[in-house]
Structure 1
Amino acid sequence: MPEIPARSGSAAALLGRVPRVPGCCRWGGSGVAAASGRVLAAAAPGPAKLTHPGKAILAGGLAGGIEICITFPTEYVKTQLQLDERANPPRYKSIGDCVRLTVQDHGVRGLYRGLSSLLYGSIPKSAVRFGMFEFLSNQMKDLDGKLNSRNSLLCGLGAGVAEAILVVCPMETIKVKFIHDQSSSHPRYRGFYHGIREIVRTLRGVRGTYQGLTATVLKQGSNQAIRFFVMISLRNWYKGDDPHKEMNPFITAAFGATAGAASVFGNTPLDVIKTRMQGLEARKYKNTMDCAYQIIKNEGSLALYKGTVPRLGRVCLDVAIVFVIYEEVVKLLNKVWKTD
């Protein structure tokens, strides 16, 4: 029986020497090319699946709620250190001193003062963040379902701005005032709902909870731009040419912690300015630029990095936990919620 010689790089080379069967179509050049295309198509992995924004919203909200319950004490300490102005003079000597005095004055529960405001906000915040990111990234992914680093930066920026306007600014204003109130000699807020009512009343409406909006947008936008840029870049590097390569939770956590650290070093000054603009003494600042100027003038440029160490610990843990929970919940939702 006559045979077709195998040529290097053709389908025949992959399959061996292909016999010609009488009565069947003859294998010419086009036939070999077609067979080659079928073999290569079968061998090549398909494009990565897009994540439905609805799944992202649900998974992001769940991840945000769990994360904040774990990491809130570090957020409390960071905020207290940022509010502790050198000109007053400072009350806390160090991170440990802040923890010691808080527990001494208010018990261990004192480290969770303001948790309710952040918990109620963290669920919608993460939901908006991941929902917006997936919505934008689905528009920017290539034909293989891959998002490049530049587009991940833009999608992260969009997600950060959206969460800042819709959730973060009013939530952070309330949280900072709760924490700042506890450090005063005569706390005014008797509980979460009483505090909300008093804050809204003294700020003359909900609009008043948007103190420091510019700083918050800058902070959240740069935060998520940096985090998603680093996370997607590391994920693309790890997966290489195989978009279906699985990432175990430990790898995801390591990449998330790295992304969190990068965002801390990249935008802590914005976080300090935002915190001051939302504190109980925010009225002494005319705007975001004036706040930055007064901090540098009165306390020195290093004051813009107050709270970096507790923030670093909190954010690295925060981002690692959120990405791990988010990825695992999305995997589970893909099994029970078919959107393809």
Structure 2
Amino acid sequence: MSSLYKPFSVTEGPCKDAIWRRGCGSQEHPAALSSAFSLAHSVCEGKRRFAAAAAAGRKITHPGKAILAGGIAGGIEICITFPTEYVKTQLQLDERANPPRYRGIGDCVKLTVQDHGFRGLYRGLSSLLYGSIPKSAIRFGTFEVLSNPMRDANGRLDNTRSLLCGLGAGVTEAVLVVCPMETLKVKLIHDQCSLRPRYRGFFHGVREIVRDQGVRGTYQGLTATILKQGSNQAIRFYVMNLLRNWYKGDDPAREMHPVVTAIFGATAGAASVFGNTPLDVVKTRMQGLEAHRYKNTLDCAFQILKNEGPQAFYKGTVPRLGRVCLDVAFVFVLYEEVVKLLNKVWPTD
């Protein structure tokens, strides 16, 4: 076990004595000496918190494990739940301003399979698969990096800080991965609705989009994506942390069964759907093939409200609800289980 977690390696004496021994016999200014002591005290306090967390049975997840576990969980999850994402995107793109093509979820699935076969429900999967692995890796890695120093002596993270850490994780993944990934996904799905589809696959689509619009073409709707992902992860990590703290009560070492984790994850996912679906609709429109109709994110929201009414901001809510609840439940369960496995083969304590 690393000395970082040994109870007797983080006592108050050595840190304090070392500062005063270094100051004795020198001409250091008292203010500088005081600052040095304060810094050392803060470091020691941080060590004591980590040590207490370990002694209490609460392991701080190593950021490297969080990145690896998040990537694995994200890749598996998207392969399972993508058809619901496809249907959600199609319904959001099916604007009322034009004659609606789909009468609902079942009709969308029926027409897609009829026109393109079952594989049509997986059109655009590659763009999400290539992005979901780094997206989840960055999400959980960033969350652990931000949250570990904020935990108390028992390893518990309070709800306000979990919301802030989730917000930071969401904004980070939005800028680095989600915006270009979502733009490509929406364009590939939207292109399939055309009478003469232009893109023959993921790599051909990327090449054509970059050739016509430059790299900026993969960053359409960045503002809406940041707002959506930031609020997404803030809500999800807040609700998940709230439920986890409630479940564990005064025992931070209490194990959570995968079924409990899945239920809590699905609840967190549902909360994020009802909380930010309007942002998701605006983001989808800003990334579609008709995005040139909108001046910016606010103009897009205004035109949706003006031409389609407020209910249009909740288009695709039902399929998104199914997709996100499955998504968050699967990801949190897979993440926790992969971390447990990594703890056995990759000791970092």
TM superposition score category, shorter chain reference: 0.7 to 0.9
Q: For 2:216 and 2:300, how far apart are their aligned partners in 1?
A: 20
- 1:226-282 deviation digits (Å, cap 9, x = unpaired): 000000000000001111100010000000000000000000000000000000000
1:207 CA drift (Å): 2.2
Q: How does 1:321-340 map to 2 (within 5 A)?
A: 321-340=330-349
Alignment partner of 1:263 out of 269, 272, 286: 272
Q: Given the alignment of the two structures, is residue 129 of structure 1 paired with residue 150 of structure 2, yes or no? A: no
Q: For 2:294 and 2:340, how far apart are their aligned partners in 1?
A: 47
The answer to whether the 8 Å contact 1:254/1:320 transfers is yes
1:192 CA drift (Å): 1.4
Alignment partner of 1:294 out of 290, 297, 303: 303
- Structure 2 alignment gaps of length 5 or more: 1-53
Which SS does the other structure have where 2:218 is aligned? helix
Q: Given the alignment of the two structures, is residue 79 of structure 1 paired with residue 104 of structure 2, yes or no? A: no
Q: For 1:311 and 1:290, how far apart are their aligned partners in 2?
A: 24
1:202 CA drift (Å): 1.5
1:45 CA drift (Å): 6.2
Name the structure 1 match of 2:157.
Answer: 147
Q: Given the alignment of the two structures, is residue 235 of structure 1 paired with residue 244 of structure 2, yes or no? A: yes
The answer to whether the 8 Å contact 1:149/1:233 transfers is yes
The answer to whether the 8 Å contact 1:47/1:143 transfers is no
- Counterpart of 2:249, as a letter, is G
The answer to whether the 8 Å contact 1:78/1:310 transfers is yes
Q: How does 1:75-224 map to 2 (within 5 A)?
A: 75-203=85-213, 205-224=214-233
Q: Given the alignment of the two structures, is residue 57 of structure 1 paired with residue 71 of structure 2, yes or no? A: no
Name the structure 2 match of 1:10.
Answer: none
Q: For 2:236 and 2:248, how far apart are their aligned partners in 1?
A: 18
Name the structure 2 match of 1:316.
Answer: 325
Q: For 1:89 and 1:199, how far apart are their aligned partners in 2?
A: 27
Asked which structure has the greater CA Rg, the reply is 1
1:208 CA drift (Å): 2.0
Q: For 1:255 and 1:178, how far apart are their aligned partners in 2?
A: 33
The answer to whether the 8 Å contact 1:164/1:220 transfers is yes
- Counterpart of 1:290, as a letter, is D
After TM superposition, the structure 1 stretch with the greater mean CA deviation from structure 2, 137-146 or 147-156, is 137-146
Structure with a larger share of its residues in helix? 2
- 1:36-64 deviation digits (Å, cap 9, x = unpaired): xxxxxxxx961522100100000000000
Runs of 4+ in 1 over 2 A off after TM superposition: none
Name the structure 2 match of 1:246.
Answer: 255
Q: For 2:231 and 2:333, how far apart are their aligned partners in 1?
A: 21
- Counterpart of 1:66, as a letter, is I
Q: For 1:328 and 1:190, how far apart are their aligned partners in 2?
A: 37
Name the structure 2 match of 1:21.
Answer: none
- Counterpart of 1:97, as a letter, is D
- Counterpart of 1:195, as a letter, is G
After TM superposition, the structure 1 stretch with the greater mean CA deviation from structure 2, 139-148 or 230-239, is 139-148
Q: How many residues align?
A: 297
Alignment RMSD, CA only? 1.2
Which SS does the other structure have where 2:155 is aligned? coil
Q: For 2:201 and 2:159, how far apart are their aligned partners in 1?
A: 44
- Counterpart of 1:133, as a letter, is F
- Counterpart of 1:286, as a letter, is K
- 1:297-329 deviation digits (Å, cap 9, x = unpaired): 000000000000000000000000000000000
Q: For 2:88 and 2:212, how far apart are their aligned partners in 1?
A: 25
- Counterpart of 2:133, as a letter, is I
1:218 CA drift (Å): 0.3
The answer to whether the 8 Å contact 1:83/1:276 transfers is yes
- 1:107-161 deviation digits (Å, cap 9, x = unpaired): 0000000000000000000000000000000121112111010000000000000
